[in-house]
């Protein structure tokens, strides 16, 4: 990653190809990380890219929280990301073609995290999910706790059963990915819990991550080192997608 100078004003506009991304944050920007694009079959008229692409990654700290914004190269359309007070952030996008993720969280993951959050607004005409997200090393896992999702269901791979956490039912899925992991090596595993019923907006909710970590471990999928940032992620992918998300997180 190539580290750039800190932002000198509250607003900085960064252009990636034909896509314009507006970041509202007084934070250091990191660029140049690469991650393999995941593959997904066409569903409901939404096509996800099936080849590896160069991607752009930005991250920093804001009010004690880690934040990041990632998007695939060659994307078109407009994405507006803003860091609000405390653990709040918002993102809206129009006519977006490609894949992006963004969110606020912490500079390292932990199996003991208990995350409170309020999803004030959620609309997403594309694919992609909203929930707790991160990576582990040794072994390489990309993990999700999916609280809600856009127009396309995230339920793919091998179904491993259902369990209850924080008063909600979750389905567990896993699949092996042949793309590049976060360190540029070949292959990694996805593991995720996905709510049986999508979360409601405008109410306080909790994710007790230990419940998911322990459930995955009991099924033979134990995460590795978690000294990698973890965020409450907002994601979209697809063609000509539009959406608006506002979220606030805190540590319980």
- Sign of the torsion angle spanned by Cα atoms 246, 118, 240, 77: positive
CATH number at residue 10: 2.60.120.180
Ranges of H-type helices in 51-105: none
Q: How far is residue 211's CA from residue 252's CA, in Å, rounded to a whole number? A: 15
Q: List the chain pLDDT tens, one digit each, 252 residues.
A: 222 222 222 222 222 233 444 454 433 222 223 333 333 333 223 333 333 334 588 999 999 999 999 998 888 899 999 999 999 999 999 999 999 999 999 999 999 999 999 999 999 999 999 999 999 999 999 999 999 999 998 889 999 999 999 999 999 999 999 999 999 999 999 999 999 999 999 999 999 999 999 999 999 999 999 999 999 999 999 999 999 999 999 999
pLDDT number for residue 38: 38
C-alpha distances (whole Å) from 187 to each of 11, 36, 190 are 37, 9, 10
Q: Phi-psi region for residue 122, left (φ > 0), alpha (ψ -120 to 50) or beta?
A: beta
pLDDT number for residue 153: 87
Could you confirm whether 235 is annotated as catalytic? yes
pLDDT number for residue 236: 95
List, in order, residues 6 or more apart from 88 with CB less than 8 Å away: 104, 246, 247, 248
**Which structural domain, as residue segments, surrounds residue 194?**
2-251
pLDDT number for residue 147: 98
Which residue among the candidates 37, 55, 147, 235 is catalytic per the annotation?
A: 235
Domain count, the chain: 1
Which residue among the candidates 36, 37, 55, 142 is catalytic per the annotation?
A: 142
pLDDT number for residue 56: 83
Which residues is 177 bridged to in the sheet? 188
User: Residue holding tokens 């569903």?
Assistant: 43
């Amino acid at each position: 990653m190539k580290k750039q100078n800190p932002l000198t004003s509250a607003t900085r506009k960064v252009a990636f190809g034909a896509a314009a991304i507006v970041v509202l944050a007084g934070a250091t920007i990191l660029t140049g990380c690469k991650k393999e694009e995941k593959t997904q079959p066409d569903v409901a008229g939404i096509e996800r890219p099936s080849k590896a692409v160069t991607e752009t990654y930005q991250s920093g700290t804001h009010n004690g929280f880690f934040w990041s914004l990632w998007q695939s190269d060659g994307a078109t359309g407009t994405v507006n990301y803003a860091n609000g007070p405390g653990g709040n952030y918002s993102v809206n996008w129009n006519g977006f073609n490609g894949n992006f993720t963004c969110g606020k969280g912490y500079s390292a993951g932990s199996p003991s995290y208990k995350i409170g959050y309020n999803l004030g607004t959620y609309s997403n005409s594309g694919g992609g999910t909203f929930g707790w997200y991160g990576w582990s090393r040794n072994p390489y896992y990309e993990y999700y706790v999916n609280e809600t999702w856009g127009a396309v269901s995230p339920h793919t791979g091998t179904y491993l059963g259902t369990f209850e956490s924080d008063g909600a039912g979750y389905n567990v899925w896993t699949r092996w990915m042949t793309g590049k992991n976060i360190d540029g090596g070949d292959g990694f595993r996805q593991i995720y819990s996905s709510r049986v019923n999508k979360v409601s907006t405008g109410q306080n909710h909790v994710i007790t991550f230990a419940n998911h970590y322990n459930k995955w471990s009991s099924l033979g999928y134990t995460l590795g080192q978690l000294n990698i940032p973890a965020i409450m992620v907002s994601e979209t992918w697809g063609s000509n997608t539009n959406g608006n998300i506002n979220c606030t997180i805190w540590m319980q």
